[in-house]
Copies of this chain bind each other. A is one copy, B any other.
Amino acid sequence: MAQQKPVERHSGVSLWRQIADRIRVSIADGEFRETGRLPPAFDLAERFGVNRHTVRAALAFLAEEGLVESIQGHGTVIVGGRQLTLPISKRTRFSAGLGDQASSVSTRLLRSGELPASLEVATLLQIAPEQPVTEVEEVGYVDGRPVSCSQHFFPVERFPDIARHIAATGSITRAFAACGLPDYLRHSTEVSARHADARERELMQLSPGAIVLEARAINTDLEGRPVQCSRTRFSADRISLKMTA
């Protein structure tokens, strides 16, 4: 197989890492769907213009991620790599949005507590700085695998028992309902992307260098008053976000 795009040397990114990233993209694009496995390491080495051992390092990295599995004498088969899409609209709900794409969707409460609002949170919730807010951290799972981790902030004054309800019902939507708010709207969602930090990698079982999509959102009641602001990081390998007007 001829060499496609040469790999970049002296870029600060090791060759095995560049190769792993490109193979990951190829898999996501469905390039090897016919055979279900990667070309032999020797061919990949020729294609990328590197030594076979360098390709082996890349494959070991992808195997660590759980994306491929190398079998001696057989080849390297593709194990996972399906991407889910979370719809973002005026009625964005985590579980409901992913429910029809997976057999199980759940969230796990990490911790919760009260603290005075930072300037940023106060601004977003339209309350005075230092007013108490409830902070809730949780991890989202799809089919048993973690795909997101998030921080949520609620004004204590209006929802004094929200943490208890979230713990009891396992759902923010149901917790709001229990607090007398049967419906709410997604006011805005700001999306950015960056490399995952150590904590995110731990919570979502990501490998170093993994990418997260960070969504900063504000939810309001039907009158437009903010009831929640949140910061959710999604594993970009597993989730994409779809905004619909």
Binding site for B on A (CB under 8 A): 5-6, 8, 11-14, 16-18, 20-22, 25, 28, 61, 83, 85, 88-90, 185-195, 197-198, 207-209, 211-213, 236, 240-245
Contacts and interface: CB of A to CB of B under 8 A. Distances in A.
Contact of A187 (B16, B185, B194, B244): B244
Contact of A189 (B20, B21, B22, B243): B243
Number of copies: 2
A207 B244 contact: no
Contacts of A185: 245
Contacts of A6: 198
Contact of A195 (B208, B211, B213): B211
A222 to B, nearest CB: 13
Given A11-B207, A11-B209, A12-B61, A5 B243 contact: no
A236 B193 contact: yes
B25 A245 contact: no
A207 B11 CA distance: 8
Contacts of A211: 193-195, 211
A241 B21 CA distance: 24
A90 B90 CA distance: 13
Nearest to A91: B245
Contact of A12 (B186, B192, B208, B213): B208
A243 B218 CA distance: 11
B197 A25 contact: yes
A36 B116 CA distance: 29
Query: Which one of A6, A11, A12, A189 has the greatest number of beta carbons of chain B within 10 Å?
Result: A12
Nearest to A90: B245
- The residue in A185, A207, A245 that gathers the most chain B C-beta atoms within 10 A of its C-beta is A245
A17 B25 contact: no
B25 A195 contact: yes
Q: Which of A5, A83, A207, A241 has the most CB of B within 10 A?
A: A241
